[in-house]
């Protein structure tokens, strides 16, 4: 079996089956819900060591896994568009100038990671803990690769790694563990219902 050719239903399409124009409505509703979740996750800071954390990377990974590549990509693109036009969806700012600042690479990484994790979920990697771990690790690496590449251009590689990666590793480990526990568990619950 070739992983590139195998496509399974996502959690969202399994829970909310729709045909024809109802699929479009489902996509629009889920995209709006996703942007609200991303906005809320950007605003709430959780005390953690060594830095406070938002739950935004967790939500990006979860949206990818639950929605699949296309809808996750559309959802994060909508979120970025909302921020670009000045809606207060980001943690500390809005507008194109904010997006061109230090967090710009991470924001683009959100889009790419959501699509990639969605693609992996469409191949069933979100259904077991071991494969969910792989999918979410890949997604997190993508977010930080884009973020660090952008940040390095602004402040240099050494400062980007020491300020834009290392302090966040403990929180990211926790969020990946949470995502890899929640998604397979959700599939088990859905399997029992079906």
Reported as a pLDDT band with limits 50, 70 and 90, residue 5 is: low
Residue 146 in this model has a pLDDT that exceeds 80: yes
Q: Is the pTM of this model over 0.75?
A: yes
Average pLDDT over residues 165-170: 92
Over the stretch 12-47, which tens digit does the pLDDT of each residue have?
Answer: 888 788 787 888 899 999 999 999 999 999 998 888
Over the stretch 86-117, which tens digit does the pLDDT of each residue have?
Answer: 999 998 889 999 999 999 999 999 999 999 99
SS3 content of the chain, % helix, strand, coil (to 5): 75, 0, 25
What per-residue confidence (pLDDT) applies to 12?
Answer: 83
What mean pLDDT is reported for the chain? 90
Average pLDDT over residues 4-19: 76
Specify whether the CB–CB gap between 96 and 146 falls below 8 A: no
What per-residue confidence (pLDDT) applies to 186?
Answer: 84
Over the stretch 49-74, which tens digit does the pLDDT of each residue have?
Answer: 777 889 999 999 999 999 999 999 99
Residue 144 in this model has a pLDDT that exceeds 60: yes
Residue 76 in this model has a pLDDT that exceeds 50: yes
CATH architecture of 11-193: Orthogonal Bundle (1.10)
Coil, helix or strand for 100? coil
Coil, helix or strand for 36? helix
Q: What are the domain boundaries of the chain?
A: 11-193
Average pLDDT over residues 166-188: 88
CA nearest to 111, candidates 61, 165, 183, 172: 61
What per-residue confidence (pLDDT) applies to 194?
Answer: 46
């Amino acid at each position: 079996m070739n992983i590139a050719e195998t496509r399974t239903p996502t959690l969202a399409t399994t829970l909310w089956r729709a045909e024809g124009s109802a699929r479009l409505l489902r996509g629009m509703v889920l995209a709006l819900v996703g942007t609200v979740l991303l906005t809320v996750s950007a605003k709430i800071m959780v005390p953690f060591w060594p830095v406070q954390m938002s739950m935004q990377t967790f939500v990006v990974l979860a949206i990818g896994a639950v929605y699949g590549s296309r809808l996750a990509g559309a959802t994060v693109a909508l979120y970025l568009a909302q921020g670009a036009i000045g809606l207060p969806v980001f943690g500390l700012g809005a507008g194109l100038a904010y997006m061109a600042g230090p967090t710009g690479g991470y924001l683009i990484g959100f889009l790419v990671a959501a699509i990639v994790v969605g693609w992996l979920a469409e191949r069933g990697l979100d259904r077991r803990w071991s494969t969910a771990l792989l999918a979410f690790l890949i997604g997190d690496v993508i977010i930080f690769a884009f973020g660090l590449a952008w940040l390095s251009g602004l402040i240099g590689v050494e400062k980007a790694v020491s300020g834009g990666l290392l302090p966040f590793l403990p929180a990211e480990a926790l969020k990946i563990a949470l995502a890899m526990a929640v998604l397979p568990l959700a599939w088990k619950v859905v399997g029992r219902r079906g």
